[in-house]
Amino acid sequence: VTWGAVVSGMSDLLELRDALRRFAAERDWDQFHSPKNLAIALSVEAAELLEPFQWLPDGAAALASATRRQVEEEMADVLLYLIRLADKLDVDLVAAASEKLRANALKYPVEKARGRSTKYTEL
């Protein structure tokens, strides 16, 4: 899996950000894209992504192919709204994610967290 080619030194996320800017500008949609509305939309899409899993046994085998297609589209929607919100709030998504991962490594030290799903506040 390559997850999109890296073209001319520009990251995938920045390309999507720019495409979303054009998309909204052409439709005069910036008026609807307040951070609050985008956060709602993101949350709604995340729930739509969760929906096909709701009655599935935890260790279920692969999703049916129609469901898989739907899940893929909902994941795309989540990413698109996340990028759009990051753009509006001027958040560097990749930097924020890298930093959060480093913070998580401190909250969940390997020796304490191994094999346990306990929240860090209880470790």
Q: How many residues bind a copy of itself (CB under 8 A)?
A: 84
4 binds a copy of itself (CB under 8 A): yes
* Distance of closest approach, residue 102 Cβ to a copy of itself, in angstroms: 9
- From the list 18, 68, 107, 123, which residue makes contact with a copy of itself (rule: CB under 8 A)? 68
21 near a copy of itself, judged by CB under 8 A? no
Identity of the amino acid at 110: V
Distance of closest approach, residue 77 Cβ to a copy of itself, in angstroms: 6
**77 contacts a copy of itself (rule: CB under 8 A):** yes
Residue 85's alpha-carbon distances to 32, 49, 50, 116, in angstroms, are 12, 18, 21, 33
- Comparing CA positions, the residue from 97, 98, 96, 84 lying closest to residue 39 is 84
Return the bridge partners of 10, or none.
7
Residue 18 touching a copy of itself (CB under 8 A): no
Name the token pair of 100.
Answer: 């959060």
Site string for a copy of itself, 101-120 (x = CB under 8 A): x-xxx--x-x--xxx-x---
Question: C-alpha distances in angstroms, 6 versus 18, 46, 74?
Answer: 15, 27, 23
